[in-house]
Chain A
Amino acid sequence: PAAASQCPSCGGLTLPPQVERALVLELAKQQILEGLHLPGRPHIPRPPPRAALSRALRRLQPRSAEPARGEELISFAEVADSAPAACSSVLTFRPPPAPARLLRARLWLHVAPTRPGALRLRLFRWGARRRPPGSRALLAEHPVRGPGWQALALPPSGLRAEAPGVLKLRVDCDAPDGNGTARPPPPAPRLLDTAGERRPFLELKLRPREPGAGRARRR
């Protein structure tokens, strides 16, 4: 109000340091929220564990050195095993609803070192609304050459979130017997390491926002 008669950038205005600092902090909040298209600071009921976070960022670090156009996103899975001894899990992700901007998707899984012989992972879209409940749409297949982290490239078109912001994927595994047919793998402990820093996560690359995308389009 003290500056009502003059805009601050047209000279002559000096504010007491405390007032200027408070103004700057308030301006910073507005600027960051506006830049991120957020109505307010997000409250995060379920923050990812630090170990999983740093592992995922370390895994991505080399690639993110190039100037990034658009957004990159890591979404951690909530894992439900259909049967602990079986070779399948259902992964639930909560990515933000940005279907039209998805450019690239990769699923990172950490396979436990307990499986003998060749193994193949098969990834299905799980429970998509347009399909009967429990039906399966194959998204990717991946030969496992050894325990550790596996990266499965996914077709962006197969990942459109159904319910607002929820995406379910099912991971199955079988043991191909050389002539292309699959036989159930020998029973063994859990296929995926899901605890702590080995939690599965989706790595998504999104196209840059269109300027003014937040506003309704004039028809």
Chain B
Amino acid sequence: TPTCEPETPLCCRRDHYVDFQELGWRDWILQPEGYQLNYCSGQCPPHLAGSPGIAASFHSAVFSLLKANNLWPTGTSCCVPTARRPLSLLYLDRNGNVVKTDVPDMVVEACGCS
């Protein structure tokens, strides 16, 4: 998935780094200092629908059927996350205990068209 450049109108991954200092949370989140909050945005024209994800040959077959019968799907395909990874956090709870945990699916790694 391309990361978003200003001139990229198509579905891409928009990278943002959030420093916990910016949130004023550095007092209770000990590690890491921040994390990547990426999200997906951009256009998904019909010929990109379902990619990546389903087999290209299957997709081209569906797409040619659509064209041959002059059918166009009424809904639009959306740019959504297709791969994520967990984030390991070390933080203080309200009792002053140190907790180390892995939060699943916190960082978007890749985007695609639904």
What is the interface of chain A, defined by CB distance below 8 A to chain B? 7-13, 21, 24-25, 27-29, 31-32, 35-36, 41-48, 53, 56-57, 64, 67-76, 94-96, 165
Which residues does chain B contribute within 8 Å of A71, judged by CB atoms?
99-101
Cβ–Cβ contact A41 & B101, under 8 A: no
Distance (whole angstroms) from the CB of A184 to the closest CB of chain B: 35
Q: Which residue of A lies closest to B44 (CB)?
A: A11
CB-CB under 8 A for A31 and B37, given A25-B22, A44-B28, A68-B88: yes
Beyond the given A42-B94, A69-B102, please list 13 additional residue pairs across the A-B interface where CB-CB is below 8 A. Answer: A9-B41, A10-B43, A10-B79, A11-B42, A35-B89, A35-B104, A36-B101, A36-B103, A41-B25, A44-B92, A44-B96, A48-B92, A68-B101
CB-CB under 8 A for A27 and B102, given A11-B42, A44-B27: no
Partner of A48, one of B76, B78, B96, B100: B96
Which residues does chain B contribute within 8 Å of A43, judged by CB atoms?
94
Which residues does chain A contribute within 8 Å of B44, judged by CB atoms?
10-11
B63 within 8 A of A: no
CB-CB under 8 A for A68 and B78, given A11-B43, A42-B94: no
Which residues does chain B contribute within 8 Å of A24, judged by CB atoms?
16, 18, 37
What is the interface of chain B, defined by CB distance below 8 A to chain A? 9-11, 16, 18, 22-23, 25, 27-30, 35, 37, 39-44, 76, 78-80, 87-104, 106
Partner of A41, one of B28, B43, B76, B99: B28
- Measured in the bound complex, the distance between the Cα atoms of B28 and A45 in whole Å is 11
Which residues does chain B contribute within 8 Å of A25, judged by CB atoms?
18, 22-23
Which residues does chain B contribute within 8 Å of A74, judged by CB atoms?
97-98
Partner of B94, one of A35, A44, A48, A75: A44
Interface CB pairs A-B, < 8 A, 20: A7-B78, A8-B41, A9-B78, A10-B44, A11-B11, A32-B29, A35-B106, A36-B89, A42-B28, A44-B27, A47-B96, A67-B102, A68-B102, A71-B100, A72-B99, A73-B97, A73-B98, A76-B97, A95-B95, A96-B99
- Measured in the bound complex, the distance between the Cα atoms of B39 and A26 in whole Å is 14
Cβ–Cβ contact A73 & B102, under 8 A: no
- Measured in the bound complex, the distance between the Cα atoms of B44 and A28 in whole Å is 25
Distance (whole angstroms) from the CB of B113 to the closest CB of chain A: 10
CB-CB under 8 A for A47 and B92, given A9-B78, A28-B18, A35-B103: yes
